[in-house]
């Protein structure tokens, strides 16, 4: 059975722009549009904080933040997914690597945080989730379809969701 509604999420550090769509790009239907906070305040930069800790403490910290992020994301996504058949997560592919290597390099910290939130949202989704690379989406195809917030993030999320409807 193909999905008639899909959830698209554009991933950021600590939050996601979530759009539930139906129809198609030719006949768009925006059902929901929300910004979901996954981790608040300084906690959202969990790998930055881990870089200031001993490795054992950093490992425990990241696990605690992952558990908290999963609980929060599951709760937020549950309210957006009734009637949704699939979830498209706009994010890059790849892995963050070993924590000891990550905390030793500022660029790797940023990569790890991107992977962390992508993976949390994929695990929290109550429907099958697929990663959609942002480079595969043409934002110029989407105009103003909803009330604010409706920016690049929401447009990418909607495009990604529409790309999975009917599959």
Domains in the chain, CATH or no CATH each: 5-164 (3.30.420)
| d(C-alpha 151, C-alpha 96), whole Å | 28
Which of these, 130, 125, 126, 128, lies nearest to 90 by C-alpha position?
A: 130
Degrees (nearest 5) of the Cα angle 145, 79, 77?
85
Sequence-distant (≥ 6) Cβ neighbours of residue 63 within 8 angstroms: none
pLDDT of residue 1: 38
Write down the pTM of the prediction: 0.92
Are 25 and 138 spatial neighbours (Cβ–Cβ below 8 Å)? no
Per-position b or e across 38-62, b if 16+ CB within 10 A of its CB:
bbeeeebbbbbbbbeeeeeebeebb
> Who has greater pLDDT, 1 or 104?
104
Please check the confidence at residue 144 and state whether its pLDDT lies above 90: no
When pLDDT is cut at 50, 70 and 90, the band that residue 121 belongs to is very high
Express as a percent the part of the chain with pLDDT over 90.
79
For residue range 10-56, what is the model confidence (pLDDT) as tens digits? 999 999 999 999 998 888 999 999 999 999 999 999 999 999 999 99
| Length of the chain measured in residues | 167
């Amino acid at each position: 059975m193909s999905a008639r509604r899909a959830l698209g999420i554009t991933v950021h550090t600590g939050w996601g722009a979530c759009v539930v769509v139906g129809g198609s790009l030719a006949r768009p239907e925006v059902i929901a549009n929300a910004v979901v906070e996954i981790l608040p305040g300084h906690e959202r930069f969990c790998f930055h904080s881990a870089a200031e800790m001993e490795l054992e403490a950093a490992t425990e910290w990241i696990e605690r933040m992952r558990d908290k992020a999963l609980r929060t994301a599951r709760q937020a996504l549950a309210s957006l997914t009734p009637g949704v058949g699939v979830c498209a997560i706009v994010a890059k592919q790849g892995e963050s690597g070993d924590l000891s290597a990550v905390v030793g390099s500022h660029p790797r910290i940023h990569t790890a945080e991107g992977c962390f939130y992508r993976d949390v949202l994929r695990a929290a989704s109550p429907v099958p989730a697929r990663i959609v690379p942002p480079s595969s989406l043409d934002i110029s195809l989407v105009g103003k379809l909803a009330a604010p917030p409706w920016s690049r993030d929401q447009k990418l999320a909607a495009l990604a969701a529409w790309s999975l409807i009917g599959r």
